[in-house]
């Protein structure tokens, strides 16, 4: 994508496709992440209980998934940050595609 910008092709169809793909990746991440957290809520993972020698203990710490601070907001315990970010990115790609169409139309005008 930055290669297109370096050559001055801001409204190129390939650049627009890259931006749209990034937005769709954000939306897909939100769908998969939300599904994962909902499934963990109802079907928790049972940790493996190995047999350890006497005097040895294992401490399991819960991993936290980093969230985007600027686009992070929760409704009913579901974070809609990546969904909003992905939707905004796809919207920007759509606007850039419309700009590309206008630019192509102006090049054909005599």
First to last CA, the chain: 31
Residue 2 phi/psi, 5-degree rounding, is: -70, -25
Q: What is the pLDDT of residue 72?
A: 65
Residue 59 covered by a domain: no
Residue 64 covered by a domain: no
What's the pLDDT band for 37 if we cut at 50, 70, 90?
A: confident
Average pLDDT on 35-54 reads: 79
pLDDT tens digits, one per residue of 74-106: 677 777 778 888 899 999 999 988 988 888 888
Residue 66 covered by a domain: no
Residues of the domain holding 25: 2-43+71-108
Residue 51 covered by a domain: no
Total tally of structural domains belonging to the chain: 1
Residue 30 covered by a domain: yes
Residue 61 covered by a domain: no
Residue 94 covered by a domain: yes
Residue 49 covered by a domain: no
Distance of alpha carbon 17 from alpha carbon 94, whole angstroms: 9
Question: In this model, does residue 63 exceed pLDDT 70?
Answer: no
User: pTM of the full predicted structure?
Assistant: 0.64
């Amino acid at each position: 994508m930055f290669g297109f910008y370096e050559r001055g092709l801001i409204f190129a169809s390939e650049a627009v496709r890259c931006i749209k793909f990034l937005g769709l990746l954000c939306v897909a991440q939100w769908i998969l992440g939300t599904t994962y957290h909902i499934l963990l809520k109802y079907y928790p993972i049972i940790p493996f209980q190995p047999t350890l020698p006497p005097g040895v203990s294992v401490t399991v710490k819960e991993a936290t998934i980093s969230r985007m601070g600027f686009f992070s907001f929760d409704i009913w315990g579901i974070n809609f940050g990546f969904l909003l970010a992905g939707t905004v990115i796809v919207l920007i790609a759509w606007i850039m595609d419309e700009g590309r169409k206008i630019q192509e139309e102006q090049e054909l005008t005599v």
